[in-house]
Structure 1
Amino acid sequence: MLWNRKNFGNNRNRIEGLKAQLGIVQQKAFSEENFIQERAIKEELEITLLKEEMYQHQRSRLNWILYGDRNTSLFHATVIQRRQRNQLSKIKDSDGSWISKENEINDHLYDYFSSLFKSSGSRNFDSLLQKVDCYIIDEMNKGLT
């Protein structure tokens, strides 16, 4: 633990501090000095985020090495925890009522996103295409097709 703090510091505290500094700099009026300072903070934040990501990755590997082979419940607990964290348990429909059954949620999401990509307008683009200059002549078009 001491080695970790000495070599890596507390990445989470550093990340929060850098985000706060970035917010302060971004609220200031634009100037070349502020721009350079913002870029430096962003670079340092990116490096610190990468350090934290590497640390968490190594820590998860260490936990797996220490406990994974002896205890398969660790594996199952992490899988179950991840699955539950990313699961949608209920959703509010357009009427404001809650839907909690899985098949109804799936149907509602399918209908909603399907309607986003449907066109209800006119499909006649002739007037628009009249304003576009033609660069490919019929002979070129025959060669292309």
Structure 2
Amino acid sequence: MAYGGDRVVVIRDFNAIRAHHEKEGGRAKSDASIQKFNDFINAGGLVDIGFEGEKFTWNNRQFGGNFIQERLDRALVSMAWRSEFSDVFVKHLDDLGSDHKAFLLCSHKEERGYKRRFRFQERWCENEEVVNLIKQAWRHEVVGSAMFKLVGKLKFCRHKLVEWQRTSNSNSNLKIMSLKEKISDETNKGQFANGATIRILEAELKEAFEQKERYWREKSRVQWLKWGDKNTKFFHSKFQARNRKNKIKELRDENGETASDAMDIAEIVQRLQSVMHRVISDSKSAFIKRRLISVNVLIAHEFMHSLKNKRYGDYELVLKLDMSKAYDRVEWNTF
């Protein structure tokens, strides 16, 4: 256990599990014992940073019908520690000669070898500058079919928003630091300080904090906490946990060799690209170069429009599904 103020990390055999799926074989753990362990973690304000490798960390080494394996070992950290060491992860190693697997706490930073994808941020909807920019970009003349015009206008809007994002003061952290410095400078003037200026700066600072919270709420994709609860650190930790799951740190080739170096992984991915179009169905409009997931959205809209305007013929049915097992979560309240 390591402790430094509000930065806490605990790595050990807790001899407890957090859910029934963390045990196989033998008699099932009671719901009360599982709830007690989860209550202990929540009361301490700790989070499980997860793992890489095989799921179970302990087994009774009684192979056969009496074989039992569980995830008893884990790393629990405080949110302050997780925020400071966001790149750290735990790797489960071999358990040769022991009933417990060895733990490796990896602290090296992973280099980004890809271009960051542009994402429209919800908080921009209230920015008048962005609204005017989109209106102006949408007037851009595109020649072609209706679908070609739509795609062209969306692409042009994206380019304009990327340019705006690079040149504008949209970084909440930088804006907060700048406003704090201005408030401090004005306050330090003592009796010559301008109260009206300070109040204006404080209002801008409050807005910047709200924008920061909305940013992390959107990136974390946690919908069961309402914006305004001042949970920025929580949203930040949730985003980091999801982001770690979205990273590929190892790949295994057809010879069973494991590649963990970025260059080796890129080489395997390059070889996969030549066959991806054969193993992924034509109905899947993502994951393959020159396939657009937006096509599915347009098809869905066309289908709903057809159903809405249908006046004769057989009845048809549409089912709204929450696709929680897809590559991403798709959820909406109404059509």
Alignment TM-score, normalising by the size of structure 2: 0.18
Tell which structure's C-alpha radius of gyration is larger: 1
Higher relative CO (CA 8 A, sep ≥ 6), structure 1 or 2?
1
Q: Greater helix share, 1 or 2?
A: 1
Alignment TM-score, normalising by the size of structure 1: 0.38
